[in-house]
């Protein structure tokens, strides 16, 4: 059997679309809400099985990966999150680049010699890397309005991945992948599946308009912190709201917090666009923190760490 293990956001879904449209195979899909990144724990392999892992941190899956590699299973690992030390194993093909200006979709596009550049662009737009997304489209001859549509689709698929549980999401990432999979060209999905495209668009707009009414909880010289109410729209919009804030004011760092059901917060951090400070370095200081240079998060920031987080957040981006 082949396992396709992928992040439930746009970058994960679109990286798998590129791979499977180029090399079709009947695989077992393993995915979840965007925050669920230790997905390899769901995979138990037998002799002859193979695995692809897309857009989830190697470091967060290390123990599971090590045991899969010990069984001589062939693994393709494509990612841009914090990886730590990459295991040296003949049966591991790791395409990992942690630099700020890359996405799993762009790495996959390179790996597949640009076989599905439009999907590579959609996923990269989803990760809020607009310039890099436009690079994937070079030579495709798309009009401005078509590339705008691809950007919209990327933002909506990315938005759909956020939530505490699958029940917060409009589409489970597996269902969304299966809806998109028949379309070699994402523009054909948009024109053929207006119902789905508009459902994503309308929900995004409705959630987003609520977020825009929120005032910052704390404003520092070089950063702002928002706390959204404990509702499912907040859990869905937290990441795209963070992207919007950083796009609007690239000089500031942002943290957006949403209270979890327990005594903790889910935290989304965006580094200032034009700084080299790594958002992931701040988040990794807390248990359940992770991410990448421009965008990182903490799944469960305990109430007892709240003041400490605010202090570090202010200081981290303050110099
Ligand atoms: Mn990504």
* Percent of the chain predicted with pLDDT > 70: 100
Residues with CB under 5 Å of ion ligand 1 are: 11, 55, 104, 127
Are 142 and 239 found together in one domain? Answer: no
In this structure, the number of other CB atoms found within 10 A of the CB of residue 231 comes to: 14
Q: Give residue 100's pLDDT.
A: 86
Q: How far is the CA of 290 from the centre of ligand 1 (A)?
A: 12
Quote the domain boundaries for residue 11. 2-203
Q: Give residue 292's pLDDT.
A: 87
What is the three-class DSSP state of 2?
A: strand
Tens digits of per-residue pLDDT, 254-309?
999 999 877 899 999 999 987 878 999 999 999 999 988 889 999 999 999 999 99
- Please report, for the domain that includes residue 137, its CATH number: 3.90.1640
Tens digits of per-residue pLDDT, 249-263?
999 999 999 998 778
Token digits of residue 195: 């119902």
Q: Give residue 112's pLDDT.
A: 98
Are 178 and 263 found together in one domain? Answer: no
Q: How far is the CA of 47 from the centre of ligand 1 (A)?
A: 30
Q: How far is the CA of 103 from the centre of ligand 1 (A)?
A: 5
CA distance 243 to 241: 5
Q: Give residue 293's pLDDT.
A: 87
Q: How many Cα atoms within 13 Å fall on the side-chain side of residue 171? A: 26
Are 182 and 120 found together in one domain? Answer: yes
* Percent of the chain predicted with pLDDT > 90: 90
Q: How far is the CA of 94 from the centre of ligand 1 (A)?
A: 15
Average pLDDT of the residues in 201-224: 96
- CA 104, 110, 113, 118 dihedral sign is positive
> Where does a domain end: 174, 203, 232?
203
Q: How many domains does the chain have?
A: 2
């Amino acid at each position: 059997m082949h396992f396709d293990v992928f992040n439930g956001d746009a970058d994960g879904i679109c990286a798998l679309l590129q791979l499977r449209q180029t090399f079709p195979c009947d695989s077992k899909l393993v995915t979840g809400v965007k925050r669920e990144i230790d997905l390899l724990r769901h995979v138990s392999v037998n002799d002859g099985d193979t695995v692809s892992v897309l857009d989830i941190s190697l470091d967060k899956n290390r123990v599971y990966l090590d045991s899969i590699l010990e069984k001589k299973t062939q693994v393709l690992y494509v990612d841009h999150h914090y990886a730590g030390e990459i295991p040296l194993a003949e049966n591991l093909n790791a395409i990992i680049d942690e630099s700020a200006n890359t996405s799993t979709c762009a790495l996959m596009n390179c790996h597949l010699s640009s076989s599905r550049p439009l999907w590579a662009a959609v996923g990269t737009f989803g990760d809020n890397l607009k310039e890099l997304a436009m690079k994937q489209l070079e030579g495709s001859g798309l009009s401005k309005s078509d590339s705008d549509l691809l950007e919209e689709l990327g933002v909506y698929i990315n938005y759909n991945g956020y939530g505490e549980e699958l029940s917060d999401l409009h589409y489970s990432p597996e269902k969304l992948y299966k809806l998109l999979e028949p379309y070699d060209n994402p523009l054909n999905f948009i024109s053929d599946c207006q119902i789905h495209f508009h459902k994503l668009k309308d929900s995004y707009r409705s959630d987003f308009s609520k977020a825009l009414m929120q005032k910052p909880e704390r404003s520092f010289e070089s950063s702002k912190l928002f706390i959204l109410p404990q509702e499912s729209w907040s859990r869905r919009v937290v990441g795209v709201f963070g992207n919007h804030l950083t796009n609007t004011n690239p000089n500031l760092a942002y943290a957006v917090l949403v209270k979890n059901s327990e005594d903790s917060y889910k935290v989304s951090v965006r580094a200032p666009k034009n700084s080299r400070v790594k958002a992931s370095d701040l988040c990794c200081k807390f248990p359940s923190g992770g991410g990448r240079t421009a965008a990182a998060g903490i799944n469960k920031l305990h109430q007892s760490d709240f003041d400490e987080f605010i202090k570090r957040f202010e200081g981290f981006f303050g110099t």
